[in-house]
Amino acid sequence: MKFSVEDKVFETLDNVCFAVVVAHGLDNTTHNSKIQNLLKENILLCQTSLEGVNVKEIESVLCYREAFRKLNVNPNKYMCSIEALLTRISKGKGIPFINTAIDLGNAISLKYKIPIGAHDIDTVQEEITLRFSKEQDYFIPFGSTEVEPVDKNEIVYATGNSVRTRKWIWRQSEEGKITTQSKNIFFPIDGFSDTNKDNILLAQKELSDILKNELGCNVSIGWVDAKNKSFTVNCYC
């Protein structure tokens, strides 16, 4: 599998960068108590740090809100994934346990206050690309079976014409979602070389270490930026 980022993305967001983690052979059928505890711990830490704080104004969120504006996406209407998670926690709603892979991604996302996506690569027929939308693109919202239109010139994660995440890191599709049967998972970690690169790299290392050492996966890691616009994932057969 290949992950690539379109030139126009870097032309619009010249400092954007991506750490990539791919898990191969994950057993996602049972909950893992260590990962659930890690998620609980990071939820509690966020609750404490967000007391009396406006989530929209913290540095780790502001950089994504500014990027959304550059992409002509209203961040007040469409919250990026990390802002949405932190907002839930600040309102006392917590984060539910879903499955091991998602719980782990959420735990690391909260710890480093960065967005982490998750896509089942066994549903990918072509490479995964971060690009601007095309006329034939379609999107099936999470939890739905109905096709939703994609805006013209909208930044999306896509494979072929199947949009997997709308408005960059806003809303994920029903197609490619992580279930208990998912075994091979692509985790993109999106950020900025001049703002939170250190946290992105720390998150990549911690995520990959837990996948290898706790969950027994084979793991591929990579880095994509304006100088290196694609990453080809090793195949473990």
Domain boundaries, the chain: 2-232
Say yes or no to pLDDT of 18 above 80.
Answer: yes
Arithmetic mean of pLDDT over the chain: 96
Q: How far apart are CA 51 and CA 28, in angstroms?
A: 34
Three-state DSSP class for residue 225: strand
Say yes or no to pLDDT of 237 above 60.
Answer: no
Give strand ranges (E) for the chain. 2-5, 16-24, 119-120, 128-132, 155-159, 162-166, 171-172, 185-192, 218-224, 230-232
Say yes or no to pLDDT of 22 above 70.
Answer: yes
Tell me what pLDDT residue 235 has: 64
Tell me what pLDDT residue 125 has: 77
Q: What is the pLDDT of residues 101-113, one digit of tens each?
A: 999 999 999 999 9
Say yes or no to pLDDT of 69 above 80.
Answer: yes
Say yes or no to pLDDT of 157 above 50.
Answer: yes
Q: How far apart are CA 209 and CA 82, in angstroms?
A: 22
Q: How far apart are CA 100 and CA 108, in angstroms?
A: 12
pLDDT range class, residue 233, cuts 50, 70, 90? confident
Say yes or no to pLDDT of 121 above 80.
Answer: yes
Fold of the domain spanning 2-232: Phenylalanyl-tRNA Synthetase; Chain B, domain 3 (3.50.40)
Q: How far apart are CA 70 and CA 132, in angstroms?
A: 13
Asked if 185 contacts 120 with a C-beta cutoff of 8 angstroms, the reply is: yes
